[in-house]
């Protein structure tokens, strides 16, 4: 069996696209190359070559942009006309699975971080640091007055 030296590292990945929206300018910038190692963006260049040792992913005519942040979500709620009732009918395991689906849907839409502002029984804490999910900043259950907003 071959061993891997501690000094060896995985090859970086270079994402190549037609355009970059970086959030600092109103215009798109041409020919970006974004170099990633693990989960860290190492560099962003325009009109530069990918590093020789990089695994190159050519995204064609796409536009790259930073991940979006949704600062007010309730992953435990669905989009029905009665999200409170729907949550009440689910046990914790079913609620967690629905929350995972909601998180994955957000991630597929470009949302890389969500701030969950209320769940049941601290369920959202179980979703932090979960693969194929956005980063979850969890508040836990709401704190409210008896019969107040989110008393349920």
55, 60, 92 from 52: Cα distances, Å: 9, 19, 49
What domains sit in the chain, N to C, each tagged with a CATH number? Answer: 13-64 (2.30.40.10), 68-138 (3.30.110.90)
Q: What confidence score (pLDDT) does residue 144 get?
A: 83
| Residues 6 or more apart whose Cβ sits within 8 Å of residue 128 | 135, 136, 138
Q: What confidence score (pLDDT) does residue 44 get?
A: 96
Q: What confidence score (pLDDT) does residue 5 get?
A: 47
Over the chain (152 residues), the average pLDDT of each successive run of 10 is: 53 97 94 94 95 96 95 93 91 95 95 93 92 92 83 69
* Cβ proximity of 106 and 73 under 8 Å: yes
């Amino acid at each position: 069996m071959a061993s891997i030296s501690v000094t060896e590292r995985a090859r970086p990945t270079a994402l190549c696209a037609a355009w970059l929206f970086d959030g600092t300018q109103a215009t798109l910038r041409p020919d970006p190359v974004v170099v990633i190692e693990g989960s860290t963006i190492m560099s962003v260049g325009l009109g530069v070559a990918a590093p020789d040792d990089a695994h190159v992913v050519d995204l064609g005519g796409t536009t790259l942009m930073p991940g979006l942040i949704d600062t007010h979500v309730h992953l435990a709620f669905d989009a029905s006309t009665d999200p409170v009732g729907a949550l009440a009918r689910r046990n914790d395991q079913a609620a967690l699975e629905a929350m995972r689906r909601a998180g994955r849907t957000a991630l597929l839409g470009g949302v890389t971080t969500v701030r969950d502002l209320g769940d049941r029984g601290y369920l959202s804490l179980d979703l932090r640091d979960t693969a194929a999910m956005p980063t979850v900043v969890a508040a836990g259950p709401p704190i409210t007055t008896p019969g107040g907003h989110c008393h349920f």
